[in-house]
Structure 1
Amino acid sequence: MRRGRRPGWAWWVSAVYVVGFAEGAGAHAYFVVTGGVDAYAYAPVAAQLLFHGLLLLDPLVVVLVVRGRPGGPLVGAVVMVADVVANWWFQWGAVVADPVAYLRPVGLSAITVFGVFVVSTALPLRRALMSRSGECAIGRRQPGGG
């Protein structure tokens, strides 16, 4: 994550992406190691498949962002939309039954806040990773760039 020609805010936003997605990958790896294939048996099958897929998708976002790839923030936004929707989908009944239990800085609330951050910063960060001359931030020509 060299600063290069990036604005300072882009470096910090990228750092938040890396920490957040690395933490997500670590959490999903922990759940699979301790719970096996059935680690997410409490969730619908589609959510289970997504959560297992996040073992690959979260590190992919980390690599793309660290390498300064303009597609990294967009992939991150798609991953977070899917993750937030899946988590709210199977936890909705519990949230309605006891909303105060979810007002803590872990779990659903943390995933939601990080998801909102990623979605709201994805396009500005993508633009910051691209230079005016059609090069990405680390200096390689983008296909079709001027």
Structure 2
Amino acid sequence: MLFVVTVYVICFLWGTAMHLVDLAGGGHNSYSSPAPAPIRFYFVALVVLDPLVVALLIRLRPIAVIVAGAVMVVDVSANYYVNWPQISQHPDYLLRPLGLLPFTLFALFVAVTASPLYRHLARLARARKLIGHNIG
């Protein structure tokens, strides 16, 4: 499970960096595309949500998996919504190495690993709680 947590942390840190670069380049108007305001707001909010996931993962909190899954579901949905005109006209748009391909692969990785990772982190949390009660 250490590998899974490491992949999550690296990818969410990468996402944080990409959103910070976007914001540094264009401020709050970085996402002023034809996307609706809630989607643009969400993309800006990812500079807080992505590092939140990382912080929770580093602390090995089971809630990290729930937050990570929710962030990815909304993020994937929003990205496909915004990019659908390009995807529908040029399906190879998905295969561009720095486009939606790595993002989609990570989202699939989260979908496949979320349940086992949650169970593992929940077991760790229960063990920490038992150890804490036995010490006190």
Regarding TM over 0.5, the answer is: yes
Shift of 1:106: 1.7
The answer on 1:102 being equivalent to 2:97 is no
TM-score of the superposed pair, with normalisation by structure 2: 0.88
* Pairing partner for 1:71 from 55, 63, 69: 63
The answer on 1:47 being equivalent to 2:22 is no
Q: What does residue 27 of structure 1 align with? A: 18
- Structure number having the greater helix percentage: 2
Q: What does residue 7 of structure 2 align with? A: 16
* Pairing partner for 2:117 from 117, 121, 125: 125
CA contact (8 A) 1:21 1:61 kept: yes
What percentage of residue pairs aligned between the two structures are identical? 37
Structure 2 residue identity aligned to 1:24: G
Quote the Cα distance in structure 1 between the aligned partners of 2:11 and 2:42: 17
Quote the Cα distance in structure 1 between the aligned partners of 2:75 and 2:87: 17
Structure 2 residue identity aligned to 1:77: G
Unaligned segments of structure 2, at least 5 residues: none
CA contact (8 A) 1:18 1:65 kept: yes
CA contact (8 A) 2:62 2:125 kept: no
Quote the Cα distance in structure 2 between the aligned partners of 1:128 and 1:44: 38
CA contact (8 A) 1:70 1:136 kept: no
Question: Which whole-Å deviations, capped at 9, do the CAs of 1:61-99 have from their partners, x for residues lacking one?
Answer: 000001110111111000000000000011111101011
Q: What does residue 87 of structure 1 align with? A: 79
Quote the Cα distance in structure 1 between the aligned partners of 2:67 and 2:103: 16
CA contact (8 A) 1:21 1:58 kept: yes
TM-score of the superposed pair, with normalisation by structure 1: 0.83
Shift of 1:110: 1.4
